[in-house]
Structure formats: structure tokens, C-alpha cells
A and B are shown apart, each in its own frame.
Chain A
Amino acid sequence: MATSVLSAAASGASCLLLVLLLCCSAGQCGLQKSNPTPPPLHNDINKPQTYPEEQRDSLPVFTMDYPRIQIPFEVTLWVLLASFAKIGFHIYQKITIWIPEPCLLIAIGLIVGGIMHAVKEEPPAVLSSTAFFLYMLPPIALDSGYFMPTRPFFENMGTVLWFAVVGTLWNSIGIGLSLFAICQFEVFGVQDINLQENLLFASIIAAVDPVAVLNVFEDLGVNEQIYIVIFGEGLFNDVVNVVLYNMFAFLSQMPVVESSDVFLGVARFFVVGIGGLFFGLLFGFVAAFTTRFTHNVRQIEPLFIFMYSYMAYLVAELFTISSVLAIITCAITMKYYVEENVSQRSCTTIRHVIKLMATISETLIFFFLGVVTITTDHEWNWAYILFTLVFAFVWRGMGILVLTQIINPFRTIHFTFKDQFGLAYGGLRGAICFALVFTLPDTINRKKLFVTASIAIIIFTVFLQGISIRPIVEYMNIRRTNKDPNTIAVEIHTRMMEHVVSGIEDLCGQWSRHYWKDKFKKFNDRILRRVLLRDNKAEHCIVSLYKKLELQHAIELMDTPMGDLSAAPSIISLDDERKEATRSMKTFLAADVRKMHEILSKNMYKIRHKRLAYTNKYRLPDNSQTREIMIRHHARIQRNRRAESFRERSQSNILGSQKDFSLQPGGDPASAFALRRRSHVKDKVVSARSSSSSLVPMRRLNIIKELSSAVELPSSSGVNLLDERGRTAPVPAPRRHSTNRSDEDGDPGDHPGEELVQPPQLPPPQAWVPDSRENELGNPLLRHQSQGSGGSGRS
């Protein structure tokens, strides 16, 4: 605690230092400007030749040239400052749980703005229209598009579009009209704002910005549906926003509104939307196609992704169509093909850089929001601003209620009241609103009022709603789900059933529920993949992930002597088993049960759909659970393969069928029996470990025989090589790999007690992994594993 306070103080101090530095440099710049070298005194040429002492310039040892680096320097300083603030927050973890990050950033921005105002400095024009829309917004949109969970998104596409389009329309028109009604009252002093201007302002503040909310929602475990609806809504209301803004801005110049303008507006909406989609798709496919040929220039592969998506954005801006839609569509289209074409490193680079840029952008935006709040000229009008807040809230709530009622019958999963509340309350406004209001034409004479009002509404929603949504939702959650103390069993069994259903769904290929989805898939496989992918191996991304995990697993096993994920925790010793039978019933206190619930909810694997789709906005997609499962699964397969290879080997043993012999050749009954009993223990171990398939219980006897046969007949392994090699079952790559590894540990003379005897190495497969590495890993790897497993046998 003390250290965290210290480090917080340290970062705070460095922040302050940076600010001062910034002010000084700005001041310095002024100084520098007014200090050029004095011009030669030409006008004194008539004077006698008594020049002042000719100053012979000595060689400057130390010069400063600030203007040259001013812009990049200041940009870097600001970015550093904002990032320090971010570091500062995360030092004390609890803060970010209760106060969402945007709030903190705005707060720090307010402080810095206050300082700058006191020093009479102007902040850089970051939130001006150009800088914001051309530099700050694209990375955020790209990030949203690239990491969008596509499956839930497409499944909920209708709902998302419904809320985005109709919801935003409802909001803007509702708020605009009500504000206009308010303006009619003389007492508030805002009579000069006409209908168009009101509508314009309303269209600006109706746009919802999901950044802050997603953060909170994810921690609260709000379900996937709400997440995707809010996420999508925030992204797609940009289309409506653009249309409405342009339309109303245009109309505000006109004295009279005609009905033809409204129709044109609708037409424009379609142009904007479809145009955005078109450009996004175009650039996405071109990018995917380009990456098909980049395998020789791996270093610049990420460049294409960024350049193409930025191009999509800029071209859309050129035509004043929805650039956010364009870049998002581009990202979604690109991602699938690009991630298959580029190398693994490029893939990682792309993801990291996108996250980096998006985080910087977001941080800066909120930060400057705080700064600019202080430094702009405000015009405060209590009535207008208060009513804006009220109407924004009311209309959003009503809008969500009405819209949900209409759309619920069309959905398979209905929105409950809690969901609706989350949607309504989670409608925070963000920086887009702010930037838009700055771009208002200056012909609007109440522009300052609008600026103030939008700042007010942003800060209000972000702070108040952002901070309070968590306690409210938690309260609602707690009220709803009362954990019955007797439900540990139910919890486990239901999770088991969920896994099973999810597995069967995957087995049946039930990914899509739409005819169009199937059609697209066919089109994809037949045409798109052939054109856009370099190697059309039709390899699932999970399979390649699996292969990469294998390699990593192998390396990890080398590094961590005790870190054998596969075998360590699952062995139950025979002694414990015996203790089980005689153990009396333990009594469990309520506290114990609660603790168990906690453990289970934190540690049970979530089902696949929930696992893959959820991504935290501020972190890269986390597939550590998937990795764990795959590593353990792979290890299990390895063991089963070995067990199965034993069975096969013994079955085709030249010395006769081994199925039912009770006497080891060359052994006497007594020793065989003893051997079997000793091996029974091992068998328990083995059966516990190879838990996953019924191979084991059925072949229990065989394994005993094999163990003993392995012990007694090591030489027979050489004979069975042929069978191993001859077996050409169409095994998937991981299996082949594992067989290989098991075959490499070619030490038939292993001491008894080692359960495995390996035949010499098979010819290396044409697998993706370099052979030399395999050879290195072969022996120590296996010895590690079997040692680990033998050691933890505890028998």
C-alpha cells in the first residue's frame, strides 16, 4: 500500500513536471521567436565608420532551436502525460473498478486544463474537427471493427441496426422537438434558436458512445446480447449521425424546410450507409488479396492492414459518407482472410498496434475533453442545459422501452427488464458528440451555448451514469439471483450440460441459423478463399492454434520442471481411495459452501461461445482458457495414443495374441500375480489419468499385461516397429506429432516402473515443425513427462 501510494505520488509528480515543462516550452517558444539575430544596420551606412564593436560570432557550443521540433515535441509530451495518468490509475486497482477510466481521464484533464488556464496557455487544437476526425477517430473505429465478435454480431444484426438507426432517429427528433418547445418559452431566454438548429443540436447529442459502458458491462458479466447491442449501436449510429447532422446543418442555413428535403434526407441515408459498406468491402477485399502475395515481405505486412483501412476511411470522408462504417466493414472483412495469410508474428503485431493506437486515441480524447472544458469560452444557460439533460435521459429511456417491445417478438432471446435498463442507462455520450459540436458552422449564433451544453451532457453522463451504473446493476443482480446454499451440485451439473450442448452443437455444425449464412459459407469456401488466400488449406483457425500451442507446450515443458499441466493434478492415489471409503461424512459450513461457489464461478471454464466472443475493450483478446484446455486435451490424446499403440503392438505381437494370457512367457504364476497386483496400482494411476476415453476401462487388463510385457519383453518392441509404421490411419496433425514424439524416446531399456517403452523414431512427418527441434525435445521431453507423471503417482 505504501509503495503504491509512493508510486502514485511519483507518477503524479512526473505528470506535474511534464505540464510545467509544456508550459515552459510554449513560453520558451515565444521567447525564441523574439530573439532573432539583429539585422545589419544598413541604414547607418551614412554614419561614420564607427560600427559598434563587431561582434565576432564564436562557434556556438550550445544552441536551442525549439520551433523546429515544437509540434512533434508537444504531441509526444501530451501523449506521455495522458499515458502517465493511465499508469497512475492502474496502480491502485480498486479505483478503476468503481470509477470508469474515462471519468478519471477527464478529471485529470480538468486539472491540467485548470493549470493551463491559469498560465494563460492555449491547449493544442486536438479536438478540432480535422485532428479529431482524421487522426483520433479512425484508430478507435478500427479497433472496434477488428475485435468485434462477429458471430454474435451477425446473429443480432437486426436488433443492432434497429436500435442504431431507429433509436437514434427517435432520440434526435424527440429531443429536438422538445427542446424547440422549451425554446418557445420566453422566460428561458433562448427564443432565437429555431427548429432546425434545435434538431441539429439534438442530432449531435443523440449519438451514444459505448466506450465507458462496455468497460463496466464486461466486469458485471452482462450477457453477450446486451454487450453486442450496445457495442453495435454505438458503432452504427454513426451512419444516422452523419446523415442527420449534414441534413440539419444544411437545413439550418435554409430559412424554410420543404418536404422534398426530407425525402432527400432519406435517400441520402441509404447512400451514406450503402456507400460506407461498399467502400469498406472494397478495401477489405483488396487488402486480403494483397496479403496473398506478401509472404516475401513479412516485415511490412501489418502496414497493408493499416493503410488500407485508413484509405477506406479517407475515401469515405471524401464522399461524406459514413467513414466509421467504412472502416469497420473493412476491418471485419479483412480480418478473416488476412489472419490466415500473414505470418503469426505479423498477426500479433497487427493486433498489438491496433490496440495501442486505439488506446492512445481514446486516452487523449478524454483527456483533452477535460482540458478543453476549462479553456473554452462558455455560455451557460441553466434552463437549456438542464432540459437538455432531462430530455436526453427521458427520450432514451422511452426509446429503449418502446423499441424493445417492438423487437422482442422477433428475437429468440428476449430482453428482460434488467437488460433494457442496462441499455437505457448505458447510453453515455462521448467525444464524437463533442467534436461534432465544434464543427458547427459559425453562422449559428448560439454556438457557444451548444458547446457548453454538449460538454455538460458528456460530463454528466460519463461521470454520473458511468459511476453509478455499477452499483445499480449489482444491486439488481444480487436481488435477482439468490444463491441457494444447496446448489453446488446443480452448478456443476448445469455447467457440464452446457459444455455438452455446446460441444454437440459444434459437432453438428450448428454455427449458423440462417439460410444466408450457409450460402455465404459456400460462396466463401468455393470462391473467396481460393482467390484471397495464399494457401487454401481449409484449415480451421483453431487447428492452427492447436499446432502452435503444441510447440509452445513443448517449450514450456522444458522450462518448468514441475509444470506438467497434463498429468499433475489428476492423479488419485490408491491410498486416498481407500481412505475415501472409510471417511465419514464431512460437514460443510455455509462459509465453506460459499467459498466453493466462489471457486467454481471463478475457475470453471466458460462454454466456448461465451469464451471466445467476449473481449475487453482495453485488453487483447484473451484465449488463455482455450490454451489451457487445448494443452490438457493434447496431453490426454498423447497418453491415449501411447496406450492405444501399446494395445495394438501387443495384439500383433508375433509371440501370440495377448488378449487373454495370464502367464507372462518366461514368468511363473506367482510373480505374474505379484506383478499384476503391483501394476494394479499403476493401472489405477493410468486409468485416472487417461480419464477421457473408455479405451482405458475396457483395456484395463491389456494395460496390465502390457506393462508387464513391457517390463519383461523389451526386445519385442523392435519387432513391432513395422506395425507402427504400417499404420496409416488418417490421423490429424496433432496426433501424428504426438506419435512421433513418443516414438523418439527410443530407449527400450528403460527401467521398469516407467510405463512406456518406445520404439525408435518414425520417419519425421512433413509437419510444420522443424525436425531438429523435435529431436532436441524428444528425449528430455518425454522423460520429463513420464517422470512427472510417475513421480506424482503417489502410490
Chain B
Amino acid sequence: MGSRASTLLREEEIEEIKKETGFSHSQITRLYSRFTSLDKGENGTLSREDFQRIPELAINPLGDRIINAFFPEGEDQVNFRGFMRTLAHFRPIEDNEKNKDHTASEPLNSRTNKLLFAFRLYDLDRDDKISRDELLQVLRMMVGVNISDEQLGSIADRTIQEADTNGDNCISFNEFIKVLEKVDVEQKMSIRFLH
């Protein structure tokens, strides 16, 4: 928020990010100052360690997966654009956006994209399917240590059963969408970003 931040971030960049993600100018500068405060190495990119240094993420059961979501395939550093691109998924859907027709490029914070973000948290190997294994991994992370493997296994089976329509014992993205159709994903996966 200070002047230091905005001088390092050029106006054109802000405009581009604004167009791509839909954040407002002040939101972008604010998030940029957060980005720089996380960037201990001061090289304009964040690595995994920078994220892991955030203490609250250490006590989040899915902390590692969340951090992972910021890094595209195979990369170890994320720049500010990538950072904002990931965060854009969590922008609340404004009313005026709800009625827009689906243009060629869907906004990053559409319901589908939010669900895709959640889906990718499960689906590590990016094969567009949540296998039982992957589901179990996430379940195990979310649940205390008192649950035995069999119990967890049957929970996972039930989860897949509820979603799986084509019987391949995996959850595809469409099945995932269908399961959550009654859930208010737009509200659940949104953060009110500070101005």
C-alpha cells in the first residue's frame, strides 16, 4: 500500500492484471504489497518456502495443497501475475457479472472455474479424474488420526459412489460439478478482498 509498492508495479501491468482477473486497482496494489512482504528473497517471485513460512498455512490441513495450487506444472517460482491469477478464483461473483453471457473466455472466478480449482486440489496428477487414492489422500489430511483406514476407505467409497455415474470408480470433473450443484459454491469459495 505504500509508495514503494506501486513504483515497482507498473501501471500497464496493473491494467493487464485488472483485465485478466477483475480485481480493482486498490486491491491489486494491496495484494502486491502482501506479495512483496512474502517475497523474502526479493527477486519478484515466490517459492514454496515463502508460502510455507506463513504460519497459518502450517496449521491448515490442506496447506500444502493450497500452496501447490499456486505453482503451475513443473515450476517452482510464481510471479505476481500467477499469484493474482490464482487468487482471482476467489473473487466474489458480482451481481452484474452473474447475468453476463458466457463469453469466449470465462472469467476466472466463475462457478465452473472455482469448482475446477477445488477439483485440482484433489487431482494431483492432472488426469482429470479423482481416483480413490487421491480422494483418500485428501481425506486423510482432513481427518484426525483416530480414524482407521478401513473406515476412511469406506467413506471414500461412499463419496465416489455418490458421485460416480459412469462406474469407472473415479470422479470426473463433470461428476464433481453435478455432486455440488446444490451447494452455493460461489459464496463458499469467495473471499471478500479488502479494498
Contact = CB atoms under 8 A, between A and B. Distances in A.
Interface of A: 486, 488-490, 492-510, 513, 540-543, 546, 565, 569-570, 572, 577, 580-581, 583, 585-586, 588, 592-593, 596, 599-600, 603-605, 608, 625-626, 628-630, 632-634, 636-637, 688, 691-694, 697-698, 729-732, 735
Of B49, B58, B59, B87, most buried by chain A (CB within 10 Å of CB) is B59
A542 B55 CA distance: 6
B138 A496 contact: yes
A500 B66 contact: yes
B144 A628 contact: yes
Contacts of B34: 508-509
B163 interface: yes
Nearest to A633: B58
A634 B124 CA distance: 20
Interface string B53-67: 111111111111111
Interface of B: 31, 34, 37, 40-41, 47-49, 51-68, 71, 73-74, 87, 90, 117-118, 121-122, 124-125, 132-133, 136-149, 151-152, 154-155, 157-159, 161-163, 167, 169, 176, 179-180, 182-183, 185, 188-194
B125 to A, nearest CB: 5
Contacts of A698: 73-74
A586 B154 contact: yes
Of B74, B143, B149, most buried by chain A (CB within 10 Å of CB) is B143
A412 to B, nearest CB: 8
A604 to B, nearest CB: 6
A69 to B, nearest CB: 50
B60 A503 contact: yes
A496 B62 contact: yes
Contacts of B51: 507
Contacts of B152: 569
Given A500-B121, A507-B54, A570-B140, A593 B146 contact: no
B64 A633 contact: yes
B141 A503 contact: no
A510 B56 contact: no
Contact of B169 (A497, A498, A581, A636): A581
A577 B133 contact: yes
Contact of B133 (A540, A688, A694): A688
Contact of B189 (A501, A540, A543): A501
8 contacts: A497-B188, A499-B142, A508-B87, A508-B193, A569-B152, A585-B167, A630-B59, A634-B58
Contact of B137 (A492, A570, A588, A603): A570
| Chief secondary structure at chain B's binding surface | helix
A636 B62 CA distance: 12
B183 A503 contact: no
Nearest to A485: B162
A692 B57 contact: no
B60 A608 contact: yes
A501 B66 CA distance: 9
A24 B170 CA distance: 77
Contact of A490 (B60, B68, B182): B182
Contacts of B49: 729-732, 735
Instruction: Identify the 5 closest CB pairs spanning chains A and B, nearest first.
Output: A692-B64, A542-B55, A506-B56, A691-B137, A540-B55
Contact of A499 (B61, B167, B169, B193): B61
Contacts of A497: 118, 185, 188-189
B170 to A, nearest CB: 10
Contacts of B183: 490, 493-494
B159 to A, nearest CB: 5
Given A493-B183, A496-B121, A508-B193, A503 B133 contact: no
Given A489-B163, A599-B155, A503 B68 contact: no
Given A493-B179, A499-B61, A633-B63, A586 B121 contact: no
Contacts of B122: 496
B68 A694 contact: yes
Contact of B125 (A596, A629, A697): A697
B154 to A, nearest CB: 7
B158 A502 contact: no
Contacts of B154: 586, 588, 592, 596
A690 to B, nearest CB: 10
